[in-house]
Chains A and B, each alone.
Chain A
């Protein structure tokens, strides 16, 4: 069974940073491209960043480029998101999601999410 578990959220001051983690189990991690999606309170889903199965390729939303960095450790089955220069607009539940490597265009599995709150 595919399982994804996010951690690392919490309260951070404006201008601060966070490192989110997503621990994967139940599937061959490097066979899946991984993505971070966030959801501000009471709002819809917003794509943040994606990374290919082998970690060679990364993609960022305009709102994340230059401030966020996605990476993965395939030996430990962990996905990361480093976020810097945080503002109140970054307050959201952050989900990690998995899709199979190759021409599949949907997220098979989602984690439970971790809440990051940016406030003074």
Chain B
């Protein structure tokens, strides 16, 4: 199954804004949207946001999502040290009848 495309790494300064991207196709991101997961080293993934910029309870408003065509974006404002983590996007592919993940973006907060 073809995966979603994410940049391998992004580095930003403390307090700045980071925008992470996730590119798929119409059969996944473009049609059904993408979800975003945060994973700190040694821990399981945690849901950050899903379609229509919905955040689970307890997730900071500094995390927001959007979509343009087949590309989903995660924006993190006011970067904090604890935001340093791996970020993955996921989506259901309606044509392949399978889940697809991005390769992950390692966010470094300088």
Q: Which residues of A contact B (CB under 8 A)?
A: 35, 37, 44-47, 50, 59, 61-62, 95, 97, 104-113
Identify 17 new A-B residue pairs, CB closer than 8 A, beyond the known A44-B103, A104-B50, A105-B32. Answer: A37-B101, A44-B86, A45-B37, A45-B90, A47-B100, A61-B1, A62-B1, A105-B33, A105-B50, A106-B50, A107-B35, A107-B45, A108-B56, A110-B45, A110-B47, A111-B44, A113-B44
Q: A44-B88, A45-B88 are in contact. Are A107 and B101 (CB under 8 A)?
A: no
A47 and B90 alpha carbons, distance in the complex (Å):
10
Q: How many residues of chain B have a CB within 8 Å of chain A?
A: 25
Q: Which of A59, A97, A111, A113 contacts B98 (CB 8 A)?
A: A59
Query: Which chain B positions have C-beta within 8 A of A50?
Result: 99
